[in-house]
């Protein structure tokens, strides 16, 4: 039976494909690898995701243990069905572009409703935030590498960096086009875009 894998469930299966773990250990490894930049990671939601995976038969309990005064911890391993569904989903997501309806393209598509100077100001604000985000991302990437995490676990980092740099370049060119008048902000709306509502 196919189970719809959500991002946090995929992250849990990815770890269990490496070796059996208990959810708290999964949480620690996800934070170590800075996976929280890709998927929202909280202990409660991770435990919930693992329980759902178990109900779907994608993982199973292999033992429980208790150390000292710590709570009892349940260790899980991935099942054959879990491994198959996980790998199929990874293959699908790599090969097939999916429109995930990001918010920024929708917002920039409606920027024409704002005054030109306001749009330029907002883009400059976004560029400043992106610069901070890039610096933090590079620092986190360096920290993870310094901890000895193999590069094959970190392929998302250079991808995100490339996407970040492409956005910055595009925004900088957009500001240049707006300031130079290459994009006419005051032009009349073309007749074909004039929508009318008929009874």
pLDDT digits (tens, 9 = 90+) for 78-111: 999 999 999 999 999 899 888 777 899 999 999 9
A 10 A CB-CB count for 135 gives 10
pLDDT digits (tens, 9 = 90+) for 165-188: 999 999 999 999 999 999 999 877
What is the pTM assigned to this prediction?
0.74
- b or e along 50-80 (b: 16 or more beta carbons within 10 Å of the residue's beta carbon)? bebbbebebbeeeeeeeeeeeeeebbbbbbe
Provide the residue ranges of all domains of the chain, joining segments of one domain with +. Answer: 7-95, 103-180
Quickly state the pLDDT bin for 77 (edges 50, 70, 90). Answer: very high
Q: What architecture is domain 7-95?
A: Orthogonal Bundle (1.10)
Structure tokens at 95: 């090969």
Distance CA 133, CA 70 (A): 36
Nearest 5 degrees, angle CA 193-CA 196-CA 198? Answer: 150
Is the torsion defined by CA of 92, 94, 98, 103 positive or negative?
positive
Residue 4, CA atoms < 13 Å, CB-side half-sphere: 1
């Amino acid at each position: 039976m196919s189970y719809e894998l959500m991002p946090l469930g995929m992250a849990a299966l990815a770890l269990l494909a490496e070796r059996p773990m208990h959810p708290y250990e999964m949480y620690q490894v996800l934070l170590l690898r800075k996976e929280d930049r890709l998927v929202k990671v909280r202990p409660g939601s991770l435990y919930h995701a693992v329980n759902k995976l178990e109900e779907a038969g994608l993982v199973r309990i292999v033992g429980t243990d208790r150390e000292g005064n710590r709570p009892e911890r349940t260790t899980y391993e991935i099942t054959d069905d879990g491994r198959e569904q996980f790998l199929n989903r990874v293959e699908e997501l790599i090969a097939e572009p999916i429109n995930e309806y990001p918010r920024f393209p929708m917002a920039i598509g409606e920027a024409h409703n704002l005054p030109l100077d306001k749009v330029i100001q907002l883009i400059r604000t976004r560029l400043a935030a992106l610069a901070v985000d890039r610096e933090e991302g590079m620092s986190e990437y360096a920290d993870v590498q310094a901890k000895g995490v193999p590069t094959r676990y970190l392929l998302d980092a250079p991808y995100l960096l490339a996407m970040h740099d492409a956005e910055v370049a595009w925004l900088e060119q957009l500001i240049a086009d707006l300031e130079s008048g290459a994009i006419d902000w005051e032009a009349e709306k073309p007749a074909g875009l004039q929508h009318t509502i008929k009874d």
